[in-house]
Chain A
Amino acid sequence: MSEQVGTITWISGPVVRARGSRHVGMLELVEVGDERLVGEVIGLKGDQMTVQVYEETSGMQTGAPIYGTGLPLSVELGPGLIQSIYDGVQRPLPLIEEAVGSFITRGARFDSINREKKWKFTPKVKVGDEVKGGAVLGVVMETDTFEHRIMLNPDDSGSISWIAPVGEYTVDEPIAKIKTGKEEKTATMLQRWPVRRARPFVSRRGANIPLITGQRILDTFFPVAKGGAAGIPGPFGSGKTVTQHSIAKWADAEVIVYIGCGERGNEMTEVLQEFPHLIDPRTGNPLMERTVLIANTSNMPVAAREASIYTGITIAEYYRDMGYHVALMADSTSRWAEALREVSGRLEEMPAEEGYPAYLAGRLAEFYERAGYVDTLNGAQGSVSIVGAVSPPGGDFSEPVTQHTKRFIRCFWALDKSLASARHFPAINWLDSYSEYLEDVGAWWREKTGKDWLAMRNRAMELLSDEARLSQIVKLVGPDALPYTERMVLETTRLIREGILQQNATEAVDAYSSVEKQIRLLELVLYFHERGMAIVKRGAPINLIHDLPVVDTIIRAKSSVTNEEMHKFDDIQKQIDQQMGQLDAEYRS
């Protein structure tokens, strides 16, 4: 299927130049050298082509051939994606291990989707139906509970002239024939889609349903909407990866695409070994049964790291098109940007900021704009939410990747080294972070919990910003100089920080907080504040409030009250009433 289109003339790292055919297309997938390594054409000039190679080029010679394929770099889409682990260009890592052992060697070539496995197909259309691109032709059960909807390629349409009956088929067996004019096309369960082209949909909808992650500082304070985009920047050791893992574990999405892009091998192994044993609280199935992993670790070829982001987002869009909510984690987008920079440097392009190419912002925008809550071609609704980690050098947020990312996301979770040093996790700084989705998701909270979440959340934020101001004064003159009412604020914010914001990802009860638990905790702390403030205003010394036993109870509630024991919050509220009541009585007279 591939013919020689050129001869290699120059090699430097992952970038190769060749001379040959003038008919090679831009971004065409090519095979490089005698080992037929995967590459992509990234520049054309006369009969010269520049190719980035997705595998290690060590040992390659000038004079070696380049073969064209006539196709752009694409991913395979179909049943079997879920629970897979791929490298950046969708090669299945378990099969590579089986074939060549523990170390990844070059030139290993495998189908991304298993061709032998048979899936039980149930048709959803009948002969004579007029179908448009994206129409659901039938369904298969991809896991015990996950329905994979087989869709017509978005570019095709016509009338069904044949549809396969219920039965077991492999992904490349025909399951339908579609007649368009005189032409008849055969559809299989497998389709290819170019990674750099966003999959089409009918229209975007507003993003006003929060993506619930079970992480209190995210859901309660800085929510991201389904179909939205969020960035987590932070210096090393501040907990980007732990936060990403927590979201991947607990987010209420139906499909999770996790891209480990230029990060540690052990981290991917952790996901691989942990997810099959963790249970999704919503479906009761192992978390792995909704997860697709893309692992292109930092020591794997750099050009494939560049591709991994696109491979991941295309898979995410494919599940969105079926009408599912998909959450995509990219850890870390900075490594992806560095891959761009490395390739750009080898091409001797004129650098813009810090050596990054001038098109960095454009590429980031293209990526984040593929997030969205949409009406799909087949009339369903689905979403892709993106959570991108950013690793700014030296933790300096003024660097180009963080700054450009900020322009394209609406939710910013700023990680803070000093919080991490004090082992305050998640180390998200509540004063530097923001979410532009607050107003959008307010209605959802009201409907879901019957409470005015936004007002409560804003009240808590107000207290936290008061705390920041007050602690400046405390630093100068000590806490004793503050009036009791202001010290009451500090008592409450300690409860907010330790009892709500801090969350232990490794502790069973605390790792995931239901929406109900989140709002009850917040309500409880604010109730404590109002009662305490009233008493302090009557002249009660602050240390009496500080020493109340209920303070400790509230701080420990996050790990002592499970998501099923909401009645315990009533008990704690009674304790507040009782203990504060005594003080109140004493100082009323």
Chain B
Amino acid sequence: MSEVTVQGGQEVVGVGRIEGPILVVEGGTNVRYDEVVEIQDSRGQIRRGRVLEVGEGFAVVQAFAGSTGLSIDGTRIRFLGSALHIPVAEEMLGRIFDGLGTPIDGGPEPLTDTYRDVNGQPINPTARIYPRDYIQTGISTIDGVNTLLRGQKLPLFSGAGLPHDQLAAQIVRQATLGKVAGAPPSESEEFAIVFAAMGVKNDVADYFRRSFTESGALTRVAMFLNLADDPPVERIVTPRAALTLAEYLAYDLEKHVLVVLTDMTNYGEALRQISNVRGEVPSRKGYPGYLYSDLASMYERTGRIRTSKGSITQIPILTMPNDDITHPMPDLTGYITEGQIVLGRELYFAGVYPPVAVLPSLSRLMKDGIGKNRTRDDHPRWGAQLYAAYARTQDVRALASVIGEEELSEVDQKYLKFGRAFEREFVNQSFTENRTIERTLEIGWKLLSILPKKELTRVTLDEIAQYYRGDDAAN
């Protein structure tokens, strides 16, 4: 093993051990923790990697593109002296990159002098602005009962075969800054979109590309693609590269940025793989103990800061293995993100689109973006009432399945009717239907009017007087 000094950093020839994507490099001196390396195989091909651990006279390196074709003596490692940086520029919108931020659309490298560390830095909590402006997505189950705000991170929890991609595409296409109900539509402020794909199939990436093209959004989308047949380890960097660009667009150029990350479950698996190869003590289901902190280091790169008008809103998509919401990936994500939109298989089979399972879905920030002067005064109580009524519907359905519908009390029968109408008219809407907030509220009140007034204890009496239109209206 010999050592030569070249421009840009020290170089080591030969590695001591190769195990999966992990190389143990011996002989470097004073290697930096987390610095980037260039790995050159015996044919001169270069791939990149990152230092995971350093000790006296050795360094553990993770090769992003895997270790295929690397040999013990024929591999040269060049240490570049700093953590992974990617170029960031406004021109990156409209472009397509690989998982490490290198253009793959045939175009040139982005022309810029600005390079940023993909790891980012934590936002100081005192520098944040609390999100208050809602985003109108035109989808009732989101705008009405799980409102998304600018600067929020709201994941889609889905399952294999469910239409999460369509829903995400619809959100991206329809998203505009929300207005008070009934306000005239104005010039919509458009979002810049940063899209990161981790381990998804080519068709999925293609679907999004087509959908962006059709809606004319392609010029304001930057896509970072690490597809199913790309090296899994690269997936660790993909969302970070995407978020690094998003931060530049939001906080330097003051744009409103919508970040879509799909599929986080694949990301988690890549992380597990590396942890496993390194022989770390696993916690649940073989995932490393630091999975929570690791996910947080990406999800928390969402929000607004006082020094910029821009914002980052994140919509991570993750498929729950076996539809299990307690699986570590959705579970830890749910603990970090500000709510979740859960897609349900039953609704999907019933032909409802989008099949949003309303009860387990939640937007934590909703309360601060709706109500008087934001959407409409009755919105918060209206939402709670819809939730409560729909939850009651589930109990009634369970009862009906035992004793039969005819045996149900009159009130319970009305709940059944409400439940059906709720799924058919409120949850269900077409892929192209863009509902105003006013329309969503109106549908909700129409449905609540199926129930007797006395059941509506979450809304005020004044609101009932103003909006309730049921048979019960007279008494």
11 contacts between A and B (CB under 8 A): A9-B56, A12-B54, A63-B30, A97-B127, A102-B124, A104-B124, A266-B338, A270-B130, A391-B335, A394-B325, A421-B387
Residues of A within 8 A of B402 (CB): 475-478
Contact of A281 with B by CB under 8 A: no
Tell me which of A11, A424, A475 has the highest count of chain B C-beta atoms within 10 A of its own C-beta: A11
Closest residue of chain B to A481, judged by CB? Answer: B403
Residues of A within 8 A of B454 (CB): 547, 551-552
Size class of the contact patch on chain B = 35 or more
Known: A63-B29, A421-B360, A498-B457. A474 touches B126 (CB 8 A): no
Are B125 and A338 in touch, CB under 8 angstroms? no
How many Å lie between the Cα of A266 and that of B311 in the bound state? 13
Known: A237-B339, A478-B399. A341 touches B125 (CB 8 A): no
Residues of B within 8 A of A260 (CB): 125
Chain A nearest CB from B406 CB (Å) reads: 11
Known: A102-B305, A302-B293. A11 touches B124 (CB 8 A): no
Given contacts A396-B326, A422-B387, 15 further A-B contacts (CB under 8 A): A12-B53, A59-B33, A97-B124, A103-B123, A103-B127, A104-B123, A237-B362, A262-B292, A297-B125, A298-B292, A299-B122, A355-B282, A422-B359, A475-B398, A555-B457
Are A85 and B281 in touch, CB under 8 angstroms? no
Question: Considering the complex, which residues of chain A in the window 354-407 have a beta carbon less than 8 Å from any beta carbon of chain B?
Answer: 354-355, 391, 393-396
Are A506 and B338 in touch, CB under 8 angstroms? no
Contact of B115 with A by CB under 8 A: no
Residues of A within 8 A of B380 (CB): 506
Closest residue of chain B to A399, judged by CB? Answer: B284
Checking A94, A297, A351, A393 against B326 with a beta-carbon cut-off of 8 angstroms, the contacting residue is A393
Are B83 and A59 in touch, CB under 8 angstroms? yes
Known: A62-B54, A266-B338, A396-B326. A102 touches B127 (CB 8 A): yes
Question: Considering the complex, which residues of chain B in the window 321-337 have a beta carbon less than 8 Å from any beta carbon of chain A?
Answer: 325-328, 331-332, 334-336
How many Å lie between the Cα of A423 and that of B52 in the bound state? 45
Residues of B within 8 A of A498 (CB): 457
How many Å lie between the Cα of A543 and that of B441 in the bound state? 32
Closest residue of chain B to A505, judged by CB? Answer: B367
Contact of A232 with B by CB under 8 A: no
Contact of B407 with A by CB under 8 A: yes
Contact of B340 with A by CB under 8 A: yes
Residues of B within 8 A of A174 (CB): none
Residues of B within 8 A of A63 (CB): 29-30
Chain A nearest CB from B456 CB (Å) reads: 10
Residues of A within 8 A of B331 (CB): 235-236, 393-394
Checking A94, A479, A480 against B126 with a beta-carbon cut-off of 8 angstroms, the contacting residue is A94
How many Å lie between the Cα of A156 and that of B475 in the bound state? 76
Known: A10-B54, A61-B31, A299-B122. A265 touches B303 (CB 8 A): yes
Are B289 and A355 in touch, CB under 8 angstroms? yes
Checking A342, A478, A551, A555 against B293 with a beta-carbon cut-off of 8 angstroms, the contacting residue is A342
Contact of A198 with B by CB under 8 A: no
Determine, out of B14-22, B262-270, B294-302, B345-353, the stretch whose residues face the partner at the interface.
B294-302
Contact of A143 with B by CB under 8 A: no
Are A62 and B336 in touch, CB under 8 angstroms? no
Checking A270, A351, A417 against B281 with a beta-carbon cut-off of 8 angstroms, the contacting residue is A351
How many Å lie between the Cα of A260 and that of B122 in the bound state? 15
Contact of B104 with A by CB under 8 A: no
Contact of B121 with A by CB under 8 A: yes
Contact of A572 with B by CB under 8 A: no
Are A297 and B300 in touch, CB under 8 angstroms? yes
Contact of A58 with B by CB under 8 A: yes
How many Å lie between the Cα of A210 and that of B82 in the bound state? 55
Contact of B129 with A by CB under 8 A: yes
Residues of A within 8 A of B128 (CB): 265-266, 268-269
Contact of B228 with A by CB under 8 A: no
Chain B nearest CB from A501 CB (Å) reads: 13
How many Å lie between the Cα of A60 and that of B51 in the bound state? 11
Are A58 and B119 in touch, CB under 8 angstroms? yes
Q: 10 closest pairs, A vs B, by CB?
A: A394-B326, A298-B296, A422-B391, A236-B334, A299-B300, A102-B127, A58-B34, A103-B121, A355-B283, A268-B125
Contact of A273 with B by CB under 8 A: yes
> Residues 512-556 of chain A: 1 if any B CB is under 8 Å from the residue's CB, otherwise 0?
000000000000000000000000000000000001000110011
Contact of B290 with A by CB under 8 A: yes
Residues of A within 8 A of B52 (CB): 12
Residues of B within 8 A of A85 (CB): 125-126
How many Å lie between the Cα of A64 and that of B33 in the bound state? 12
Chain A nearest CB from B384 CB (Å) reads: 5
Known: A9-B56, A236-B334, A351-B281. A102 touches B122 (CB 8 A): no
Chain B nearest CB from A544 CB (Å) reads: 14
Residues of A within 8 A of B124 (CB): 93, 96-97, 102-104
Contact of B202 with A by CB under 8 A: no
Known: A101-B307, A104-B124, A264-B300. A478 touches B407 (CB 8 A): yes
Contact of B32 with A by CB under 8 A: yes
Known: A57-B33, A298-B296, A556-B457. A269 touches B290 (CB 8 A): no
Residues of A within 8 A of B340 (CB): 236-237
> Residues 49-93 of chain B: 1 if any A CB is under 8 Å from the residue's CB, otherwise 0?
000111110000000000000000000000000110000000000
Contact of A335 with B by CB under 8 A: yes
Are B281 and A345 in touch, CB under 8 angstroms? yes
Contact of B233 with A by CB under 8 A: no
Contact of B151 with A by CB under 8 A: yes
Chain A nearest CB from B245 CB (Å) reads: 16
How many Å lie between the Cα of A94 and that of B151 in the bound state? 21
Residues of B within 8 A of A391 (CB): 335
Residues of B within 8 A of A56 (CB): 121
Residues of A within 8 A of B281 (CB): 345, 348, 351, 355
Are A269 and B125 in touch, CB under 8 angstroms? yes
Question: Considering the complex, which residues of chain A in the window 25-79 have a beta carbon less than 8 Å from any beta carbon of chain B?
Answer: 56-64
Question: Considering the complex, which residues of chain A in the window 539-578 have a beta carbon less than 8 Å from any beta carbon of chain B?
Answer: 547, 551-552, 555-556
Question: Considering the complex, which residues of chain B in the window 392-407 have a beta carbon less than 8 Å from any beta carbon of chain A?
Answer: 392, 398-399, 402-403, 407
Are A295 and B125 in touch, CB under 8 angstroms? yes
Tell me which of A57, A58, A104 has the highest count of chain B C-beta atoms within 10 A of its own C-beta: A58
